[in-house]
Amino acid sequence: MEFPPTGTVYAVFTRWSHSGARQRIVDTLRDRLRVRAGRDRCPTAAIIALQTVPAADTVPR
């Protein structure tokens, strides 16, 4: 399998990220997977692991 040059891949990724296209793709795929699994398209709850929150350098002690 051949891939395009690294610079080309990075340029497309950057363009998609700045335009919001990458996030729309991720959101659409997530929604489709949730529906396919028989769940609501939008999650109603989230879980935050308490061990990771204090370790983040953006969280004051």
Dump pLDDT digits (tens) for 14-48.
Answer: 999 999 999 999 999 999 999 999 998 888 888 77
- Residue 49 or residue 20, greater confidence: 20
CA distance 10 to 36: 31
Supply the pLDDT for residue 45.
83
Q: Domain residue spans in the chain?
A: 1-61
* CA atoms in the 13 A half-sphere facing the CB of 40: 4
Residue 54 has pLDDT above 70, yes or no: no
The helix (run of H) or strand (run of E) holding residue 21 is helix 21-36
Cα separation, 58 vs 53, in Å, equals 9
- Tokens linked to 58: 């953006």
- 7 pLDDT exceeds 60? yes
Cβ proximity of 34 and 41 under 8 Å:
yes
For residue 9, the model assigns a pLDDT of: 95
